[in-house]
Structure 1
């Protein structure tokens, strides 16, 4: 099965939900995906087409992408929810159960969740919940959502007689650090605009002197990673990260975390079928 379509109408909306589970089907979403990422104020790199396409291509057979749409054109897509699925043996139930979480958890994606047209948020979340409720699974866990209020709309779409929703805390440092909340800022279009609008005159002057001394005419330069340089640059990032944390973290933590350096915001976990 390459592409399966669950034509599940949402209550009060003209949306249907496609369930995509093949690269061919995913590739057909590109224009709509990139359009949605461009208008969604909560979209970020970890939900971008380039990042997510690579992640899903590297993990075949482990994901579904739910697409809420009103037609076949790219502009008809209202929301996208990439999910990872896995099978789990439950001793208590004596059965193998399907569990879902955000597809970004297949890799180092921290801020995960939904892409959504902000003008169609409520019906899109209802449509996704309605379609997902019709699939066979036992547990859904979402964390590090870039737009946690959408999780509330999404959760409200499940029948409380059939599903149980909980919102557990996820903290560190003895409960001091809430790992589900991370401050974010909207950046201007350019670095010069950022300096002009965001920092003080003295800081702006220091940054510009540093740039002239070390970047414009100095020994350093900033470049973008290419497919050819990715492995080398990833190794360099790992090396710098380990050098920073090797005296603080255990060897096991260093091994588990790799170059993972941050956390996203918001979360809903877990959602269980009753």
Structure 2
């Protein structure tokens, strides 16, 4: 069995027809393994993802199975990194797994397991959100010898006893007829309510249901997500924005791909509730995703009406399953559901440290994690990551650069300079290393060195706009006004809308008394804006210079004065904290 690795969106797009064919013939798959859902999910995945694809031999053009996974990286306390494989759908897919053409399971699944054990370096494999009915995953897990691997079944309990059990997934196995469903699946009380309230909506001029289409998509989504947000914002805490962004994107994506059912219940012009379902035409199932309602409305009950409407739609269109997904909330059982259970298995490699023969293999993942921490301003973790990468490869260009930039942010200028110079020994023509080194020199007032670095950049890349701008600024600080203005003009010639060059040129003209009062007021505001921008980037010294220039041009600009005062206070606190840390280190 030939196992290939798909790890980019371009290749994933190319296998769509093959994927859809396998998906359509696989009787055990689900919507979270569809090409449509995954193609919407992948742009939101920040980790390194890959899909194992199996074909009987190298000559075959088509794959018979796909296994979507991702790799996570964690820092070890004692240094180094630890890798973990996870199911690609985590953390938003209610179910995960693999897809496979019938008849190939016995050959494909052990081949997947062998590839993972022999070709990938990992400490643990988090096999999460697996339906207990998924016999393929059971076969997969049996391929991990207990002599070499520890397998543990997890069941994480919520600290709040009132929370639903997310290891249970209620669903309805739908009959062919709506009346049959009402008669045989639900209790008499629920049956009467469904009939009464659906009639009330259908026979009323006051109540009605609208269904999503191209004209009302945005309004329907806004209603649904506003209702959901008002109910769950506080409880979801730090995860709220992540979940909301997912719903915003995936629901639009599914509508675009004709697999979204989103009705809204109205009373006149007032929306009472909304519900969104994924529609899986190939597997003949509807999956309840998200709902929201006006919490002040009890009669008629929006949730009951909208679920009943969706179930009726599913039956009338030949669907076989209405899936409530994870969570055993009590109301779900009133619709005649059965239970499926979800398993969570963690596989740990007992020989991980012995198998980690080539640490270079995980450096791309390590860099990805470290850069993400750096961009998120988690500087301590980022520094740890860069240093651990450099322990493995002392000449790693991206780690040298990243740590150099970070050290400059921390005010450790000599360390930053050494790192950037080391990078230039590895990559003598590195534009970004020269640029960062020039900026570092300029921050410290080493103007001649900064000018030399910027000139080196321009020798390598004559159209480097930022280098002209920064060179002009360094020359301006030396009092070489005409040369500085010439640099700004060159930058503006290359990019007429370069606001930094325009403002710096105006500042040079102002210093020479050549800027009109009207323009002074205009550029005072722009200097203040650039000061704010530099502060956000952590470049406090340049921010101070812009604020001071703003005040020089317009002493009455209170905002610039306030910004400067606050920045100087923050800068002083930061310098004191750094000084205290250095003192503690030396003790």
**What TM-score do the two structures reach when normalised by structure 2?**
0.37
Query: Pick from 53, 57, 70: which aligns with 2:39?
Result: 53
Higher helix share: 2
Matched with 1:123 is 107
- Pick the aligned partner of 1:66 from 52, 56, 67: 52
1:163-178 map, 5 Å: 163-172=149-158, 173-174=160-161, 178=165
Between the aligned partners of 1:245 and 1:56, the Cα distance in structure 2 is: 25
Q: What SS does the corresponding residue of 1:155 show, helix, strand or coil?
A: helix
Give 2:342's aligned residue: 266
- Trace 1:1-274 onto structure 2 (pairs within 5 A): 15-59=1-45, 62-70=48-56, 72-74=60-62, 76-77=63-64, 79-92=65-78, 94-105=79-90, 108-134=92-118, 135-146=120-131, 147-172=133-158, 173-174=160-161, 178-187=165-174, 193-200=176-183, 207=194, 210-211=197-198, 214=201, 220-224=208-212, 233-245=220-232, 249=235, 251=237, 258=244, 263=326, 265-274=341-350
Counterparts in 2 of 1:112 and 1:73: CA distance versus 1, 3 Å: same
Tell me if structure 1 keeps the 8 A contact 2:47–2:72: no
1:251–1:140 Cα change, 3 Å: closer
1:223–1:33 CA distance, 2 compared to 1 (3 A): farther
Structure 2 unaligned residues grouped into runs of 5+? 248-288, 291-324, 328-340, 351-587
Residue 20 (structure 1) shift: 0.7
Q: Which has the higher strand share?
A: 1
1:56/1:245 Cα in 2 relative to 1: closer, same or farther (>3 Å)? closer
Taking a change above 3 Å as real, the CA distance of residues 255 and 200 of structure 1, as seen in their structure-2 partners, is same
Q: Secondary structure at the match of 1:171?
A: coil
Q: Which residue of 2 aligns with 1:9?
A: none
Determine the C-alpha separation between the residues in 2 that align with 1:225 and 1:84.
Answer: 34
- Of stretches 235-244 and 27-36 in structure 1, the one that deviates more from structure 2 is 235-244
CA-based RMSD of the aligned residues comes to: 3.5
TM-score using structure 1 length: 0.73
Look up the match of 2:429.
none
Per-residue deviation at 1:97? 2.1
Are 1:85 and 1:100, in contact at CA under 8 Å, matched by a contact in 2? Answer: yes
Query: Residues 17, 250 of structure 1: CA spacing in aligned structure 2 closer, same or farther, 3 A cutoff?
Result: closer
CA contact (8 A) 1:170 1:178 kept: no
Q: 1 or 2 for the larger relative contact order (CA 8 Å, sep ≥6)?
A: 1
